[in-house]
Structure 1
Amino acid sequence: MALHYTALGDSLTVGVGAGLFEPGFVLRYKRKMEADIKQHVSLAVFAKSGLKTAEILSMLDQPFIRDQLEKAEAITITGCGNDLLQSLDDYEQEKDEHVFLEASSHCQENYSAMLKKIKDIKGEENPRYFVRLLNLYNPFPEIELAEKWILSFNSHLRQLESAPHIKVVDTYSVFKGHEEEYLSFDNVHPNCRGYEAIAEKLRASGYEPVKS
């Protein structure tokens, strides 16, 4: 019997930057999961480049996506990178740091709402699933405010962890100091090595309570 994996998110879940015919982290993680739990994993991906957290949240109201989430034992979510990019643009115009605080708060609220919807979809009778939230790495280490914003957001995201179902996967530490090695030519999205590193970090987070 197959284990079901549903991946939600933005361009990271799409795999932008990996290169032609190369997988992003989703397919890599699926393969590692299959090797670790010795079971076939079926995959459903709902992602689009450019999505912000509010748009990802709204996807959870679509009946087909809700059906896939109801079946899923493994769920990954990426988001907030586009909210950050929008904040950088807004800051350039307004020179007001509050745009970062507002975006961070907005992202956290949307993530919290996503987790509540997933919990409602799964119901109390379905304890065998896990959700992995990927925090933000910093593709702009030279921009002091971006670093400050991302650290603040990641700190807030950690508060949403809830054992055993929900864990935050720390991609920030994976990319810190390895930006040249792990980022693609656009200097924003991961390359193949970056996506492999993300998949390994996901693998290291374990599969509880689906498999201990």
Structure 2
Amino acid sequence: MRYLAIGDGLCAGIGASFLSPGFTQRHARMMEEILRERVYVTSIARSTYRSSDIYELLEETRVKDAIKDSGIIVLSAGHQDYIDAVNRFKENNNETEFFQLLKTCKSSIDDIVQKIKDMKSAQNDKYMLVILGLHNPYHDDETKEKWIKNFNRYMEFLGRKPPVYALNLHSLFKGNEEKWCTRDLLYPNNEGHRELARKIHEIGYTEIQEEAPANH
């Protein structure tokens, strides 16, 4: 089974300490227990990628091949868009622009998800796609909190129907930031990556598990 982690710093494992695996490797090991087969992880992710950059990646042959070959795809997008929007908002305090950037980001992610679905349905694949939402490093600010909540709600809308799923990181991390996030609160730490792997694992593997032994 091939596992593709595509996106920004979250899929790149940022926040996990040196030599400690990010959530993708942890999750892959959990999958192996259930599926009784090796799970090979490919990561096409960078902390600098905005959602529009990730969409452009989908035109590359190596990325198309990775999508076509993978039984599970995990997408993280929007973190850098959010940081950019926050920095702009600090400069100009323009709330209209702040939420316009949210709209643009959601539109890019919508396009990414649709393109992946189209590629997979074209070859009639059994697969699952997990979209990761965002947690909020600035939860003491009501306007920023609203951006994040709106973003996560939209990810849940995109993941409302299998084989596409969404994980609301805002509700997962809220109240646990000190324990599960890096000191600057921007990314999950080791414990946060572990928790993230557990939460994705809890979604299950119905779409890709049909011939695997039942999990008792």
Structure-1-length-normalised TM-score: 0.94
Question: 2:59 pairs with 37, 58, 61, which one?
Answer: 61
1:160 corresponds to: 158
Q: Distance in 2 between matches of 1:191 and 1:161?
A: 25
1:38 corresponds to: 36
Deviates more, 1:181-190 or 1:61-70: 181-190
Deviation sequence 1:15-36 (CA, Å, 0-9, x none): 1111111111111111111112
CA contact (8 A) 2:156 2:167 kept: no
Identity %: 29
Deviation sequence 1:33-81 (CA, Å, 0-9, x none): 1112111111111001121100011111100110010011100000101
CA contact (8 A) 2:2 2:72 kept: yes
Q: Distance in 2 between matches of 1:48 and 1:174?
A: 23
Paired AA for residue 83 in structure 1: D
Question: What root-mean-square deviation, in Å, do the aligned CA atoms of Structure 1 and Structure 2 show?
Answer: 1.3
2:19 corresponds to: 21
Q: Distance in 2 between matches of 1:70 and 1:176?
A: 35
CA contact (8 A) 1:9 1:51 kept: yes
1:71 corresponds to: 69
Q: Distance in 1 between matches of 2:209 and 2:105?
A: 30
Count the aligned residue pairs.
210
Q: Which runs of 5+ in 2 are unaligned?
A: 211-216
State the 4+ residue runs in structure 1 displaced beyond 4 angstroms: none
Structure-2-length-normalised TM-score: 0.93
Q: Which runs of 5+ in 1 are unaligned?
A: none
2:198 corresponds to: 200
2:134 corresponds to: 136
Q: Tell me the CA shift for residue 98 of structure 1.
A: 1.5
